[in-house]
Structure 1
Amino acid sequence: MKNRQAELVRKLSDRELLLNVYLTQGILLILTGVIGGLLYREWWFFDEITEINWTEMLFLGGGLALVVILVDSLLMIWLPEEMLDDGGINERIFKEISVLHIFFLSLIIAICEELLFRGVIQTHFGLFIASGLFAVIHIRYLTKPVLFTSVVGISFMLGVLYEWTGNVLVTITAHFLIDFTMGCLIKRKARN
């Protein structure tokens, strides 16, 4: 299955790959609305899982993002490049888009994934199921032990942060900062 997926991805242009990222996020957002509406028994459930608390968002979300970015940066220094290679997908996505586009894409991904995995799945089924499903959707990492362990670890940390705060805006902040920073670093590395 992995080879088949890799072959399909290789056949896509960079633009088609980026469109697939947006399509995937759209599907996750639709799933959030449908599953969330059914589980919460109302279609507007966001006020139950969100609170604008700048202190938590900046210090807890930002703090977690800083830890993850530092650990990822150290892994990039200490480990051979092939252990961190996702098949070049992230590089293809980020190398040609502007920093503003990386900002927008990272925000969309953080919102869609955190609303579904923390706000809906974790709220109703728990931390382990939400973190497991989050890791599984990052299928291209399944055969890369370091990348898969990293995704699982990040997912659990985001889940614990959500358990602690009960505020999905905090996990959205952390997820956004991680993706935006790493996207910018990938872009910079691809340009050098």
Structure 2
Amino acid sequence: MKDKYSDIVNELSDRELLFHLYVTQILLLVISIIAGWFLFDTFEDFSKLFIWDDLNIFLIGGVAGVIVVLLDVFLMRILPQKYYDDGGLNNRIFRSPSVLHIAFITFIVAISEEVLFRGVIQTNYGLVVSSLIFALVHYRYLFNWFLFLNVVLLSFFIGFIYYFTGNLLVTIFMHFIIDFLLGVSIKYRTQYNR
């Protein structure tokens, strides 16, 4: 199964991978809208998940995101490279785009994933269900026990931050910081290795 997945990914160009990434994120947003339509009584109930004038967006979301990235970078330096082998997908996605494009990609991913997994699923079904579904949706990590464990723990951590703050903007910003900093790191590490 892992080989079949790798073959499919390797057949796609970098541009096609980005296209599929965007389509996936749009699909997650559509699922969020449809599920939210049924699970929230009114749009106002859903909009209460977003607290705009909350310093925790930066204090908790930003600091927690940077801590996750620092821990991840530290582990990348001390663990064997095979522990972080996702089949090269992240390298292919982030090696070519500009930093601004990486910011856009990671912003879209953070919004679509957090609205669905924390905003819709966790709010209505709890932390455990949302974290497990989040981990399973990151299909490529199922082939590497370390990456799968990593994404499960990260999902529970992000879910706990949402539970603690009650503000979806905190987890969106945290998710964005993590993906953006790691994406930029991949871009410059790839250029340096060339």
Answer whether TM exceeds 0.5 for this pair.
Answer: yes
Note the residue ranges of structure 2 that are not aligned, 5 or more in a row: none
**What residue number does 1:67 align with?**
67
Structure 2 letter corresponding to 1:60? I
**What residue number does 1:83 align with?**
83
Question: Once structures 1 and 2 are overlaid, which stretch shifts more, 39-48 or 8-17?
Answer: 39-48
**What residue number does 2:136 align with?**
136
Distance 1:128 1:120 in 2: 13
Number of matched pairs: 192
**What residue number does 2:147 align with?**
147
Distance 2:171 2:5 in 1: 29
1:53-132 equivalences in 2 (<5 Å): 53-132=53-132
> Contact 1:36 / 1:45 at 8 angstroms: preserved in 2?
no
Distance 1:92 1:8 in 2: 14
Percent of pairs identical after alignment?
A: 45
TM-score (norm 2): 0.96
CA root-mean-square deviation: 1.1
> Contact 1:57 / 1:169 at 8 angstroms: preserved in 2?
yes
Distance 2:80 2:153 in 1: 20
**What residue number does 1:176 align with?**
176
Question: Once structures 1 and 2 are overlaid, which stretch shifts more, 40-49 or 150-159?
Answer: 40-49
Question: Once structures 1 and 2 are overlaid, which stretch shifts more, 49-58 or 111-120?
Answer: 49-58
TM-score (norm 1): 0.97
Stretches of 4+ aligned residues off by more than 4 angstroms: none
Distance 1:112 1:154 in 2: 17
> Contact 1:135 / 1:152 at 8 angstroms: preserved in 2?
yes
**What residue number does 1:167 align with?**
167
Note the residue ranges of structure 1 that are not aligned, 5 or more in a row: none
CA deviation vs aligned residue, 1:40-68 (integer Å, no higher than 9, x gap) = 03356541211013410011001110110
Q: Secondary structure at the match of 2:52?
A: coil
CA deviation vs aligned residue, 1:9-52 (integer Å, no higher than 9, x gap) = 11101100010000000000000000011100335654121101
Alpha-carbon offset, residue 119 of structure 1: 0.3
